[in-house]
Amino acid sequence: MKMKLQIKSRFTGSILFEFEKEENTIKETVLKALEDGADLRDANLSDANLSGADLSDANLRGADLRDANLSDADLSGAYLSGANLSGADLRDAYLSGANLSGANLRDAYLRGADLSGADFDYIKADFYLILLDSQNEIEGLKQALISGKINGSTYEGECACLVGTLANIKHCDYRKLELIKPNASRPAERWFLGIQKGDTPENSTIAKITLEWIEYFQLKTGQLR
């Protein structure tokens, strides 16, 4: 018996691609869509099992990949800008050269993932702008990160997001920072959504990358010798 599966837009519900075959799976449908050159931008692929799939160079900009199984998948060179990867299993996935600017990586499981060469430049540039305006708080932010005291999902509390942590260091309300205004849509804040209380550079890929950015900034500005 043949089975028809559809891939729809996460925003409009319109059908982006459909594929019918016996014993069909969403992974086969996605691979067929890519083979046929279908436009999968903004595709709704939440909870999809794409384990081990070859998604290299795929354009999945803005796609909803919440809780998707992408373990061992080849995402090298994939365009994932703005994609929702919260809760996705990216264990041992190959993300070398992937564009992840603006992607939501909150709760994503990245253990063993190859992120070498992944494009985080847009996020990193925005983060550096914040550091430029918070140079007296950089060391405190670094120590909070190392100690696992960042919680990217809240502006307030002992463990808070990027802006909230900077405010804690300055001992002020996060809404009263002089040069930085809370903006949950800006790339650096979205990046910090991927860091939760207890995440450190030792157990979190995102925290590790963030620490590297901080130390590079400190080195270039003479704060790290």
User: What string of H, E and C letters represents the secondary structure of 5-45?
Assistant: EEEEECCCCCEEEEEEEECCCHHHHHHHHHHCCCCCCCEEC
pLDDT higher than 90, residue 56: yes
Tokens found for residue 68 = 């998707």
CATH architecture of residue range(s) 1-119: 3 Solenoid (2.160)
pLDDT higher than 80, residue 128: yes
Closest CA to 97 of 158, 133, 134, 55: 55
Instruction: Tell me what the mean pLDDT of segment 14-39 comes to.
Output: 96
Per-residue CA distances from 63 to 16, 131, 171 (Å): 12, 30, 39
Confidence (pLDDT) at 104: 87
Considering the chain, tell me which residue range(s) the CATH 2.160.20.80 domain(s) occupy.
Answer: 1-119
- How many residues in total does the chain contain? 225
For the segment 149-199, what is each residue's pLDDT rounded down to a tens digit? 999 999 999 999 999 999 999 999 999 999 999 998 889 998 998 899 999
Q: What is the DSSP letter of 179?
A: S
Confidence (pLDDT) at 225: 63
Residue 99 — very low, low, confident or very high, per pLDDT cuts 50/70/90?
A: very high
Q: Is 56 exposed, middle or buried (0-12, 13-18, 19+ CB in 10 A)?
A: middle
Radius of gyration of the chain (CA): 19
Confidence (pLDDT) at 108: 87
* Percentage of residues in the chain having pLDDT higher than 70: 100
Confidence (pLDDT) at 224: 77
What is the chain's mean pLDDT, rounded? Answer: 94
Return the minimum-mean-pLDDT range out of 38-42, 108-112, 117-121, 157-161: 108-112
Instruction: Tell me what the mean pLDDT of segment 2-10 comes to.
Output: 96
The angle at the Cα of 208, spanning 147 to 113, to the nearest 5 degrees, equals 135
For the segment 60-81, what is each residue's pLDDT rounded down to a tens digit? 999 999 999 999 999 999 999 9
Q: Report the predicted TM-score, pTM, of the whole model to 2 decimal places.
A: 0.82
